[in-house]
């Protein structure tokens, strides 16, 4: 058993921001299932949104975020984040993180879809995430230790299940280890890999959501998935992201014949909100029509977008011809483990930050370039909260007692060894894409729910996991996350933001405005669990 003051699971932007901002007195351990850079943060291209120009104002950023979120966002949370954004960016810039500057040393600001102003701060052209992560990694202090290739597979609660006290993890040599701390933070990113077409890193398998759900934490808004309109599409497969910034710089969506497809769809045309652009391209692709990004208008494409140019070249696309084949795919989940703006979940001692969390900021659809920002914002808030929480050290000292209770609970838990089948990865991803994807209907969602039901979620939620391999655990976590997404999508009988129901094609404000679908695995008095409880919260 290893003990520390803070356990951080994951090593993306949210985790690193938190680790950098925690007091140097605290003993912090980062556990991450692959190498440090193997998450979505390292892939982020476009940049970070912040109202830093003189013509802009955080209030305009707030309004754009609320509009993109289909007014499902928590207004106070959005207001706080957009107000803090310029300070967060300037702080990072002044401490040495390199963002792209003009000849006068001013930040160059990009434009992205659904923003009313140029406010996207970027780095290395389109390598913003890589540069930010590398910078934050360099800043880690000696109080932060890092364990790579360490797969966290279970949260540990105390005997009466009122507090999270640690995690269990698989080590690279195949053995299991228990880590204890008074503060356990899930920074495990999103779940894009649950769908067949995705921009996401291989690590984005919904682990944090599944871990939290098994432990009994509340999750919210799982139906709201953002499908990015433009993933590079070669030989029937997605090969990475073509950032919205490309359309911000003037690229347009066309058929092979050059017909512009967004002109009559939305007043913002190619820069319409992502779900509208995705649905439009999806309609064409279902009719067998390939859609392209026409980049002929963009001067110096190679130097403005070096990462994308390289991606295209690697996959045999000649940038000089000016047409990049694209398809929509899963990109971001707006929902997740329900938290406040300090990352606190419904279980004391358990926190969630970054894409794993649902703070309510993204509402029903995330505004472009708001997620790196949210990771930095809530990561810093949580650090301030833990730092100023006077009990942190005291709790750590009295923690051995808690661990003994934990061990007792673990022994008495009667967790079953369940050797049931798990869905195979390809079938899970394809059925999620086809039935719980960009366009949803009651029939398709029921079909998917029934298919998922075959694999005994209930037993898997009760089961001991110690003997499973990381690859099996990955499948299990994807399965749990896919089930929560499907059930929420079935329940929300309206279309809003990233959730589109063909059978309920409009927003239904009378019945659904500001209502969240909450999932929580509940304890009942006799010690047994109830599963898949959902509730509505306004
Ligand atoms: C291609 C692409 C481009 C994007 N561009 C932008 C952009 O320009 N601007 C923007 O704001 N957003 C962008 N996004 C979204 C943004 O990158 C992510 O939302 C954000 O980086 C998530 O950060 P995170 O720290 O929550 O998670 P990640 O960066 O995904 O990190 C999660 C970490 O958790 C680890 N992990 C997961 N499960 C476990 C486990 N069981 N045990 C141990 N470790 C685990 C992973 O290995 C990883 O280290 C983009 C996303 C993609 C995919």
- Do residues 478 and 51 make contact, with C-beta atoms less than 8 angstroms apart? no
Atom of ligand 1 nearest to the CA of 200: 53
- Do residues 194 and 485 make contact, with C-beta atoms less than 8 angstroms apart? yes
Q: Which protein residue has the closest C-alpha to ligand 1 atom 35?
A: 10
Q: Which protein residue has the closest C-alpha to ligand 1 atom 9?
A: 369
Q: Does the structure show a pLDDT above 90 at 93?
A: yes
Atom of ligand 1 nearest to the CA of 190: 30
Residue 220 in tokens: 């919210």
Query: Which ranges of 413-502 does DSSP label H, i.e. alpha helix?
Result: 425-435, 442-453, 457-462, 470-491
Q: Which protein residue has the closest C-alpha to ligand 1 atom 21?
A: 41
Distances (CA, A) of 109 to 14, 30, 88, 145: 23, 33, 16, 35
pTM of the model: 0.94
Residues 6+ apart with CB under 8 A from 34: 148, 149, 202, 203
Atom of ligand 1 nearest to the CA of 355: 26
Nearest residue to 223 via CA among 422, 518, 457: 518
Q: Which protein residue has the closest C-alpha to ligand 1 atom 41?
A: 152
**Ligand 1 centroid – CA 43 distance (Å):** 8
Residue 399 in tokens: 């923690």
Q: Does the structure show a pLDDT above 90 at 417?
A: no
Atom of ligand 1 nearest to the CA of 245: 8
**Ligand 1 centroid – CA 42 distance (Å):** 7
Give the pLDDT of residue 114: 86
Compute the average pLDDT of residues 61-70.
Answer: 96
Judged by average pLDDT, the poorest of 155-159, 275-279, 420-424, 429-433 is 275-279
Q: How far apart are the first and last CA of the chain?
A: 41
User: Who lines ligand 1 at CB under 6 A?
Assistant: 9-15, 31-34, 38-41, 43-48, 128-129, 151-152, 187-190, 199-200, 203-204, 207, 241, 332, 354-356, 369-373, 375
Q: Does the structure show a pLDDT above 50 at 246?
A: yes
Give the pLDDT of residue 531: 56
**Ligand 1 centroid – CA 422 distance (Å):** 25
**Ligand 1 centroid – CA 187 distance (Å):** 9
- Express each pLDDT in 321-363 by its tens digit: 999 999 999 999 999 999 999 999 999 999 999 999 999 999 9
Burial classification of residue 458, based on how many CB atoms lie within 10 Å of its CB (0-12 exposed, 13-18 middle, 19 or more buried)? middle
Compute the average pLDDT of residues 416-425.
Answer: 88
Nearest residue to 224 via CA among 436, 79, 46: 436
**Ligand 1 centroid – CA 378 distance (Å):** 14
Burial classification of residue 484, based on how many CB atoms lie within 10 Å of its CB (0-12 exposed, 13-18 middle, 19 or more buried)? buried
Compute the average pLDDT of residues 219-235.
Answer: 96
Give the pLDDT of residue 397: 46
- Do residues 12 and 41 make contact, with C-beta atoms less than 8 angstroms apart? yes
Nearest residue to 81 via CA among 443, 359, 268: 359
Nearest residue to 151 via CA among 168, 166, 169: 169
- Express each pLDDT in 385-402 by its tens digit: 999 986 655 554 455 555
Burial classification of residue 418, based on how many CB atoms lie within 10 Å of its CB (0-12 exposed, 13-18 middle, 19 or more buried)? middle
Catalytic residue annotation = 274
Tell me how far apart the alpha carbons of residues 438 and 523 are, in angstroms, rounded to a whole number: 34
Tell me how far apart the alpha carbons of residues 291 and 323 are, in angstroms, rounded to a whole number: 9
Q: Which protein residue has the closest C-alpha to ligand 1 atom 20?
A: 41
Judged by average pLDDT, the poorest of 116-125, 136-145, 389-398 is 389-398
Residue 289 in tokens: 């029509």
Q: pLDDT class for 523, splitting at 50, 70, 90? A: low
Tell me how far apart the alpha carbons of residues 494 and 478 are, in angstroms, rounded to a whole number: 25
- Percentage of the chain surpassing pLDDT 70? 93
Q: Which residues pair with 198 in a beta bridge?
A: 330
**Ligand 1 centroid – CA 81 distance (Å):** 19
Give the number of other Cβ atoms within 10 Å of residue 1's Cβ: 11
Mutating to test ligand 1, I would choose from 44, 47, 186 the residue with most ligand atoms within 8 A of its C-beta, which is 44
Compute the average pLDDT of residues 102-130.
Answer: 93
Residues 6+ apart with CB under 8 A from 44: 13, 128, 129, 130, 132, 371, 372
Q: Does the structure show a pLDDT above 70 at 310?
A: yes
Q: Which protein residue has the closest C-alpha to ligand 1 atom 6?
A: 44
Q: Does the structure show a pLDDT above 70 at 405?
A: no
Compute the average pLDDT of residues 224-247.
Answer: 92
């Amino acid at each position: 058993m290893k003990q520390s003051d803070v356990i951080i699971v994951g090593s993306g932007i949210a985790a690193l921001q938190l680790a950098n901002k925690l007091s140097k007195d605290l003993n912090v351990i980062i556990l991450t299932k692959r190498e440090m850079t193997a998450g979505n943060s390292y892939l982020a291209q476009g940049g970070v949104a912040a109202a830093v120009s003189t013509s802009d104002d955080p209030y305009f950023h707030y309004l754009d975020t609320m509009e993109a979120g289909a007014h499902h966002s928590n207004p106070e949370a959005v207001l706080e984040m957009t107000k803090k954004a310029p300070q967060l960016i300037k702080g990072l810039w002044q401490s040495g993180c390199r963002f792209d500057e003009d000849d006068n040393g001013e930040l160059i600001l990009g434009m992205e879809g659904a923003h009313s102003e140029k406010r996207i701060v970027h780095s290395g052209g389109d390598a913003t995430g890589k540069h930010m992560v590398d910078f934050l990694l360099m800043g880690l202090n000696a109080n932060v230790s890092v364990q790579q290739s360490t797969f966290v597979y279970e949260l540990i609660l105390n005997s009466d299940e009122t507090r999270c006290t640690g995690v269990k993890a698989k080590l690279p040599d195949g053995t299991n280890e228990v880590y204890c701390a008074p503060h356990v933070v899930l920074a495990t990113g999103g779940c894009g890999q649950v769908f067949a077409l995705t921009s996401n890193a291989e690590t984005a398998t919904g682990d944090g959501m599944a871990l939290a759900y098994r432990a009994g934490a509340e999750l919210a808004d799982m139906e709201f998935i953002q499908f990015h309109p433009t993933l590079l599409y070669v030989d029937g497969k997605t090969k990475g992201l073509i950032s919205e910034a490309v359309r911000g710089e003037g690229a347009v969506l066309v058929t092979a014949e050059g017909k512009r497809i967004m002109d009559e769809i939305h007043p913002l045309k190619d820069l319409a909100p992502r779900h509208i652009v995705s649905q439009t391209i999806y309609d064409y692709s279902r009719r067998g029509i390939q859609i392209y990004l026409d980049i002929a208008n963009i001067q110096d494409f190679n130097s403005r977008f070096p990462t994308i140019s390289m991606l295209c070249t690697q996959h045999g696309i000649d940038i000089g011809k000016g047409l990049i084949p694209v398809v929509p795919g899963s990109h971001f989940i707006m929902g997740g483990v329900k938290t406040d703006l300090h990352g606190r979940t419904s279980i004391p001692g358990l926190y969630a930050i970054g894409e794993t969390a649902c703070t309510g900021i993204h509402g029903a659809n995330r505004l472009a370039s708001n997620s790196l920002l949210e990771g930095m914002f809530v990561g810093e808030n949580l650090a301030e909260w833990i730092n100023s929480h006077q009990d942190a050290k005291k709790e750590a000292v009295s923690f051995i007692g808690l661990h003994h209770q934990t061990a007792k609970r673990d022994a008495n838990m009667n967790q079953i060894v369940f050797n049931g089948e798990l869905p195979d990865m390809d079938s899970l991803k394809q059925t999620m894409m086809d039935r719980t994807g960009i366009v949803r209907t009651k029939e398709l969602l029921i079909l998917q729910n029934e298919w998922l039901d075959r694999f005994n979620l209930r037993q898997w939620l009760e089961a001991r996991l110690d003997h499973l391999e990381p690859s099996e655990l990955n499948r299990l976590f994807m399965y749990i996350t896919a089930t929560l997404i499907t059930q929420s999508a079935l329940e929300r009988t309206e279309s809003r933001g990233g959730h589109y129901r063909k059978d309920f094609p409009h927003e239904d404000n009378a019945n659904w405005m500001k209502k969240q679908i909450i999932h929580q695995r509940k304890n009942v008095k006799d010690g047994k669990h109830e599963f898949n409880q959902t509730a509505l919260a306004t």
